[in-house]
Amino acid sequence: MKCVALTYDDGPSEYTGQLLDTLKAYNARATFFQLAPHSEAYSKFVKRQVDEGHEIGNHTVSHLELCKLSEPKASQEISQGRARIEQVSGRKITLLRPPYGARTAKTDALAAKYGQSVVLWSVDTLDWKYRNAQTVTSNVLRDVFPNAVVLMHDIHKTTVDAAGPILAGLQKQGYHFVTVSQLKGATKPGVVYA
Ligand code: NI
C-alpha cells in the first residue's frame, strides 16, 4: 500500500476544526505535534483528534531549541510537554518532534528518558514561509514519495485551506493517509525517525 504521513505542528489553533473536517471528508488520518499550552487552549479539537483516529505527539511547552537549553530546562520542556498533552488528550504520548527539528545525541537521550521517540520529517513544505495555499499544495504534490513524512503547521489558515487540494491530489496518486505510528510501526524511545 502506498502511504504518506501528513503531520501538523505548533497547534492546535482556531483553524484546526476546519482541518479536522477536511481530513474526515477524505477518511484521512494525520499526526499533530502540539505545544502544551495550545493543547490546553483548544482542548475541544484535541478531543476530536482522539475521537477521529488521529495521532498526537509532543512539540514541547515553549517551542525552544532543546540543544541550546540547560539539561534541566530541556528535560522540563520534554517532560512537562508530554504530561500536559497527556492530561488533555487522555492518551499516552510517545512521539516527540523537537522544535525546528533541532536535536543532538544529548537531547535524544533526554527524549529516551521520558519515553519519547524523536520524529523528524522527509518533506518540508515551508508552509510557514510561503503562507499560500496553492504553493503549499504544489510543494506537497511535487515532493511526496511513498512513506514520506510531510511537515506542515495547522496554525496557518493557508495550510488548512490547502488540505482539501492536497488530499485530493494525493488520493489521485493512490496514497493512503496514515499516522506516524501506522507508518513506522512500533517506535522506540530515543530513536530518531525521519
Ligand atoms: Ni514547531
pLDDT one-digit tens code per residue, 129-164: 999 999 999 999 999 999 999 999 999 999 999 999
Tell me how crowded residue 109 is: count the other CB atoms within 10 A of its CB.
12
Give per-residue pLDDT as tens, 56-66. Answer: 999 999 999 99
Please check the confidence at residue 194 and state whether its pLDDT lies above 90.
no
Please check the confidence at residue 42 and state whether its pLDDT lies above 90.
yes
How much distance in Å is there from the Cα of 9 to the middle of ligand 1? 5
How much distance in Å is there from the Cα of 8 to the middle of ligand 1? 9
Read off the DSSP letter of residue 64. Answer: -
Q: Please, what is the angle between helix 16-25 and helix 157-172, to 10°? A: 10
Residue 9 among the catalytic residues = yes
Lowest mean pLDDT among 84-93, 132-141, 182-191: 182-191
Dihedral angle sign, alpha carbons of residues 84, 10, 47, 183: negative
User: Which cell numbers hold the place of 94?
Assistant: 510517545
User: Which cell numbers hold the place of 37?
Assistant: 499550552
d(CA 68, CA 74): 8
How much distance in Å is there from the Cα of 65 to the middle of ligand 1? 10
- Average pLDDT of the chain is 97
The per-residue pLDDT for 126 is 95
Q: Which residues surround ligand 1, an ion (CB under 5 A)?
A: 9-10, 99
Which pLDDT band holds residue 186 (cuts at 50, 70, 90)? confident
The per-residue pLDDT for 21 is 98
Choice among 54, 153, 154, 156 that is catalytic: 153
Residue 38 among the catalytic residues = no
pTM of the model: 0.97
